[in-house]
Amino acid sequence: MASQKVLEYLDAHRQQHVDQLCDFLRIPSISSQSEHEEDCRRAAAFVAGELKELGLVVETIEAGGLPLVYAQSEIKPERKTLLFYGHYDVQPVDPLELWDHPPFEPMIKNEIVYARGACDDKGQVYTHIKALEAYIKQGIELPVNVKFIIEGEEEAGGESIYRYTEQNPEKLACDAIIVSDTALYNESTPGICYSLKGLAYMEIQLKGPDMDLHSGSYGGTVQNPGNALAEIIAKLKDENGHCLIPGFYDDVLELEPDERAGFAELGYTDEILKKETGAPEAFGEEGFTTLERMWARPTCDVNGLASGYGGEGAKTIIPSRAMAKVSMRLVPNQDPAKIAQLFEKYVLSIAPKGVEVTVIDHHGANPVLVPRKSEMMQAGMKALEEGFGAKPVFIREGGSIPIVGTFQECLKSPVLLLGYGLSTDNIHSPNEKFHLSNFWRGARTTAILMEEAAK
Ligand SMILES: [Zn+2]
């Protein structure tokens, strides 16, 4: 098996690869802060340089914001093609005082590297680059054609990757898209995430009088936007957590019996949830387990509420305005645009008299479902099993990765979400980390995947 020599190479170069990863991590490529634009460009150049050195044809693409790095190997028509996606930008680091160590001076302790971007996503991107390096440096022909598209606006919600994907589907054409920007199921169990929730994000604004009024002088004579908003919110869900928007559940793809059985086998309990969240008890839509609600049932949740006076002591007013932000996490096959319309129609229909109600549709993302039985999925499962030395499980994810939906739609290829991080790796938080064992096993997994995907 060719991969034996490849894996030997990865084992022999562990320390070197960690040192190189640390160089990558030293670049403070915070995409949402304009003073770091040069750093972001340096991070792009770092990725481009590595891929160029491996003999790939590399382009640094200016698509309006921070550059996209595109690279491809020689494309042989008889070989399958894998497209690797990731991002070189990172989240801001504040609050800095909560870091035990400067975020851009990587520190290694107990085989864990601590730095901003260690897990999200530089460390994971690097597993793919090092797997490729192993084939090239060992002089072993690649089992597949490889393409890379590494962006720099993921953490800032930039548009470049979307525009580029929509405009260049032939260039990015592939048999599967590999995304390593998620987590293992737990420390000892790898998983493939085959479904992501979508999103419809709404805002409700209520206007009553032109200004806050004296609640004694005018109370009882005009509608109170705060009370009116509470009435609206109270009608979004019933006491059993069931959403009351007509048509909300119409397109929901119900779980297959084997999915429900698979979730149950994972042994996630309400006790674990309580420990993770500190909530007094589990709560959600009746008729479903906690994991089913988390992964496969749509939600409708207030994300923020504001009206009137919230400061110290009392202030006797009828507030002039009220607003709420509401997120609906969607599941296959719900359509964010349709759900946003249903939401608006329903809210306007239940709006109490005496206030002006405006509903704003902020943004949406499509839910994603990747067929579990495809050949590529099997290749991914096999690679994870060999790479991590443990049987992987199928998992879903309650969050959204909007680019995954765009890839699926524009490229018509399955997306394999092979996460090598841990949910406890503090991504987006102080003391972000990545376990070196997962870094090394991730690189092995990617190397094996290239061979499995070719079969
Ligand atoms: Zn990420």
The model's pLDDT over 193-210, given as tens digits with 9 standing for 90+, comes to: 999 999 999 999 999 999
CA of residue 122 to ligand 1 center, whole Å: 9
CB proximity list for 345: less than 8 A, separation 6 or greater: none
Closest CA to 319 of 238, 403, 409, 224: 224
For the residues 20-42, what does the mean pLDDT come to? 98
CA of residue 294 to ligand 1 center, whole Å: 20
CA of residue 124 to ligand 1 center, whole Å: 9
Is the pLDDT at 364 greater than 90, yes or no? no
Is the pLDDT at 400 greater than 90, yes or no? no
CA of residue 283 to ligand 1 center, whole Å: 29
pLDDT of amino acid 1? 57
CA of residue 322 to ligand 1 center, whole Å: 34
State how far the Cα of 252 lies from the Cα of 419, in Å rounded to an integer: 26
Percent of the chain with pLDDT over 90: 94
CA of residue 121 to ligand 1 center, whole Å: 5
Residue 133 sits at φ, ψ, to 5 deg, of: -55, -40
Q: Kindly tell me the sign of the dihedral angle through the C-alpha atoms of 101, 107, 109, 113.
A: positive
End-to-end CA distance of the chain: 12
The model's pLDDT over 49-83, given as tens digits with 9 standing for 90+, comes to: 999 999 999 999 999 999 999 999 999 999 999 99
What is this structure's pTM?
A: 0.87
CA of residue 120 to ligand 1 center, whole Å: 4
pLDDT of amino acid 101? 95
Instruction: Assess contact for 319 and 309: CB atoms under 8 A.
Output: yes
pLDDT of amino acid 426? 95
pLDDT of amino acid 157? 85
CA of residue 90 to ligand 1 center, whole Å: 8
CA of residue 300 to ligand 1 center, whole Å: 25
State how far the Cα of 88 lies from the Cα of 105, in Å rounded to an integer: 17
For the residues 360-379, what does the mean pLDDT come to? 92
For the residues 308-337, what does the mean pLDDT come to? 97
Q: How confident is the model at residue 410 (pLDDT cuts 50, 70, 90)?
A: very high
CA of residue 76 to ligand 1 center, whole Å: 31
Matching CATH number, 198-252+298-362, of 3.40.640.10, 2.30.29.30, 3.30.70.2190, 3.30.70.360: 3.30.70.360
Residues with CB under 5 A from ligand 1 (ion): 120-121, 181
pLDDT of amino acid 276? 87
CA of residue 308 to ligand 1 center, whole Å: 37
Paired sense of beta strands 317-318 and 198-207, if any: unpaired
CA of residue 126 to ligand 1 center, whole Å: 13
CA of residue 182 to ligand 1 center, whole Å: 7
The 3-class SS string of the chain reads CHHHHHHHHHHHCHHHHHHHHHHHHCCCCECCCHHHHHHHHHHHHHHHHHHHHCCCEEEEECCCCCCEEEEECCCCCCCCEEEEEEECCECCCCCHHHCCCCCCCCEEECCEEECCCCCCCHHHHHHHHHHHHHHHHCCCCCCCEEEEEEECCHHHCCCHHHHHHHHCCCCCCCCEEEECCCECCECCECEEEEEECEEEEEEEEEECCCCCEECCCCCCCCCCHHHHHHHHHHCCECCCCCECCCCCCCCCCCCCHHHHHHHHHCCCCHHHHHHHHCCCCCCCCCCCCHHHHHHHCCCCEEEEEEECCCCCCCCCEECCEEEEEEEEEECCCCCHHHHHHHHHHHHHHHCCCCCEEEEEEEEEECCEECCCCCHHHHHHHHHHHHHHCCCCEEEEECCCCHHHHHHHHHHCCCEEEECCECCCCCCCCCCCEEEHHHHHHHHHHHHHHHHHHHC
Is the pLDDT at 3 greater than 80, yes or no? no
Q: How confident is the model at residue 2 (pLDDT cuts 50, 70, 90)?
A: low
- Identify the CATH number of the domain defined by range 2-196+367-454: 3.40.630.10
pLDDT of amino acid 401? 86
Average predicted confidence (pLDDT) for the chain: 96
Q: How confident is the model at residue 41 (pLDDT cuts 50, 70, 90)?
A: very high
CA of residue 247 to ligand 1 center, whole Å: 33
Cross-strand bridge partners of residue 151: 87
The model's pLDDT over 231-245, given as tens digits with 9 standing for 90+, comes to: 999 999 999 999 999
The model's pLDDT over 250-309, given as tens digits with 9 standing for 90+, comes to: 999 999 999 999 999 999 999 999 998 899 999 999 999 999 999 999 999 999 999 999
CA of residue 169 to ligand 1 center, whole Å: 23
Question: Where are the chain's structural domains?
Answer: 2-196+367-454, 198-252+298-362
CA of residue 155 to ligand 1 center, whole Å: 7
pLDDT of amino acid 348? 98
